[in-house]
Each structure stands twice: as structure tokens, then as C-alpha cells.
Structure 1
Amino acid sequence: MSAEQQAVRGTAPAVAFAILVGVSVTVLLGVYGKVHDPRFFSVNVAGFSSPVAVKAWLGTVAFVLAVSQVISAMIMYGKLGPSAPAWIGTVHAWSGRLAVLASVPVAVHCLYALGFQDGTARVFAHSLFGCFFYGVFVTKMLLLTRKGLPGWVIPVAGGLTFTGLTGLWLTSSLWFFQNNGLTF
């Protein structure tokens, strides 16, 4: 067995643990969202026409920041040029932090005020994407603390995180804008 194979084998428990924790978060959010009694409260912000408009715009901010995550990751991994500027890692880290920060008020409102819903295909997909996004986000954060992972692990975790947030944006913010215009 080569040294690389031994290193990968040595990191397998850490990867498996991170995935298990992420799957647990996904399932727990879905179960909690489905079984708890939703308690309506508002995330309305001055200047916005409704709580749904606030959520649509916060979701859009998170999505735009997630796109910058993908672009900055591609730069860091040398996919968009031969060398990355020194500041790109900082941009990548902060765009990720801000994306999650923008998503939290939306997620809290969806989880506690609305719960996991399955009344329509769009709403059901949105509920699934929400649980998936936070589960895979937890997985990615746990993996980031590990050294010696195979080179594909973090990009796959990042890609799945982006996929979850993209699904959320498509089933919520984009839907809102298509039905209401780019209204505040």
C-alpha cells in the first residue's frame, strides 16, 4: 500500500464522522421541522414590503456570496489561472461566513415559524434543500479542520453546499421574484 493510500485510509474515519454528523443534522432539522408546532413570527425589516421579501433578498445575498465562494475556490485551486492572489483565501472565507450569516434569519423563520412543509412540490423541495444545506454545511465545516484529506474532499463538500444553497434560492427567492418582481 502506498503512502498516499495509507494517508487516505487514515482520514476515512474523520470523513465518515463528518458525514454522519451532517446527515444527522439534516435528519434532525427535517424531523424537528415536521413534528413541532409552528409558531408564527416575523422577520420583517424596515423598508421591505413583507417578511417574504426580506427572506427573498437575504436568500439572494447568500446565493451571490455562494457564487463568489465557487469563483474564489476555483481561483485558489488554480482552475481560473496559474496563480491565486494572496488575498483570495480571505475573500473565500469571508464570503462563506457572510453567506451563512445571511441565511440564518431565513432558516430560523422557515424552521420555527413554518416548519417542514410538503404541500406542493416546490415547497417540499425547498424544505428538503434547507435541511440538506445545513447538514452538508456542518459536514464541510468539520472537514475543514482536518489535515491530510484527499484533495477532492473539500471541493466535493463545497460543491454540495453550493448545490443546497442554489436549490434553496431557486425554490424560494427566484420563485418570489418571478411572482412579485424585484420588489423590496
Structure 2
Amino acid sequence: MTTPDPDLTRPRATAPPVPSAAAPAAASWTAVAVPVAVGTGVAVVLGVYGRLHTATGLSLALPGFSGTLYVKAWLTTLAFVLALVQILTAMVLDGRITVDLPNLPAVHRWSGRFAVLFTVPVAVHCLYALGFRFDDPRVLVHSLVGCLLYGAFTAKMLLLTRPWLPRWAVPAVGGVLFSVLVALWLTSSLWVFTTAGFHL
């Protein structure tokens, strides 16, 4: 009587499944769609709150400034300047501009963080003290881009943590964020400086 060959009776290992090319593609679109949807929700919630909330008319005062209008104008201007730093450092990191600067990634990250941070007191005052307004075209655009700013920022921060991310996703949302901040500055700080004067 012959004994069975152990190599023949041992279960054969199956080859690992070949990943489908459609899976990463689907995952990449999901990785983009979910943060964008969340960011859109943030923008809508801010707009609805600003519209439904009863404006209080409170002022925002800081030492050295002549009034609330100039506090907000200069904070937004600082955010605008830091947004320019963001764009320039992003172009260097992407290889579009060749500049040898130390700690460039850190400069890029922190300039973005401080840019948004400087807008927070402005946004809180606009939403709480003034509300979402559409009685004037400039004010309407300013209200819309103010809400969109935080939606774009939320989307970008969430995108940075997602796998299977297309290469274009973060630059695209970053470009939207920069464009919104420029529109915010044009409809607020520049308007203040050209109508009420350039001072603190």
C-alpha cells in the first residue's frame, strides 16, 4: 500500500486576486467627492446661520485701530498677503519655480494656517454682528465668498488626509481657496481703503 504524497494532498495556495483598475479610480473619486461635499455643507450652514441669525451690531475693537471697519480690513489684508505666500511656495514645491529656500514646506503650511486664522475674527463678526446680507451687490458677493472660504478650507484639509487622491485634487481646491480669499479681500479691504481712506 502506497502512502499519498503529502505535496499532492496539501491544499494549494491560491494566487492573490489582481486588484481591479476600476477600484483605485472609484476610490479616488470618492476621496475627492466626500471632502468637497463636507466643505459645501460647511459653507451652506454658515450662510444659513448668517441669514437666520438676528444681527447684533456689535463692534470689533483692537488697540491702535480707528474702528471695526479697519480692524477687519487689515486682518483680511494680512490673510491676503499670506495667501500670496501660499501660492508662491506651492509653485516652488511643485517645481514650477526654482528657488532655494530653507524650511519651505513649513513656510507653506504655516502661512496657510495663519491666513485662515486671521480671517476668523472677521468671519465671526460678519456672521454674528452683521449677518448674511444681499441688499447690495458687493455685500452679497462678500457674504457668499466669506462662507465659501471656510467650505473650501474644510475640503482642502480633509483632502490632505485621503488615500487614492488624484494629483490635481489638492491644487484645484487650493486654487479655489486662494481665489475666494482674493475675492474676499477685493470686496472688503480694497473697498474700505479706496472709499474710506488708507490708514489704521
TM-score bracket for this pair, using the shorter chain length: over 0.9
| 1:139 corresponds to | 155
Q: 1:66 aligns with which of 83, 86, 101?
A: 83
Matched residue type, 1:80: I
Alpha-carbon distance, 1:182 to partner:
1.6
Q: 1:93 aligns with which of 85, 102, 109?
A: 109
Matched residue type, 2:63: A
| 1:159 corresponds to | 175
| 2:59 corresponds to | 42
Identity value in percent: 49
Alpha-carbon distance, 1:38 to partner:
1.1
Alpha-carbon distance, 1:39 to partner:
1.4
Tell me the number of residue pairs that the alignment of Structure 1 and Structure 2 aligns. 182
Instruction: Note if contact 1:78-1:84 (Cα within 8 Å) is conserved in structure 2.
Output: no
- C-alpha separation in 1, matches of 2:169 and 2:31: 11
- C-alpha separation in 2, matches of 1:8 and 1:98: 34
Q: 2:94 aligns with which of 74, 77, 99?
A: 77
Q: 2:45 aligns with which of 15, 23, 28?
A: 28
- C-alpha separation in 2, matches of 1:14 and 1:99: 25
- C-alpha separation in 2, matches of 1:182 and 1:4: 57
Q: 2:127 aligns with which of 92, 96, 111?
A: 111
| 1:170 corresponds to | 186
1:58 alignment partner, SS class: helix
Alpha-carbon distance, 1:78 to partner:
0.5
Instruction: Note if contact 1:34-1:116 (Cα within 8 Å) is conserved in structure 2.
Output: yes
1:124 alignment partner, SS class: helix
Range that drifts further, 22-31 or 5-14: 5-14
Instruction: Note if contact 1:27-1:131 (Cα within 8 Å) is conserved in structure 2.
Output: yes
Higher helix share: 1
- C-alpha separation in 2, matches of 1:34 and 1:69: 31
Alpha-carbon distance, 1:147 to partner:
3.1
Q: What root-mean-square deviation, in Å, do the aligned CA atoms of Structure 1 and Structure 2 show?
A: 1.7
Instruction: Note if contact 2:31-2:164 (Cα within 8 Å) is conserved in structure 1.
Output: no
**Could you tell me the TM-score, scaled by structure 2's length?**
0.86
Matched residue type, 2:39: G
1:37 alignment partner, SS class: coil
Instruction: Note if contact 2:42-2:151 (Cα within 8 Å) is conserved in structure 1.
Output: yes
Alpha-carbon distance, 1:122 to partner:
0.3
| 2:165 corresponds to | 149
- C-alpha separation in 2, matches of 1:115 and 1:30: 9
Query: Which sections of structure 1, spanning at least 5 residues, go unmatched?
Result: none
Alpha-carbon distance, 1:139 to partner:
0.5
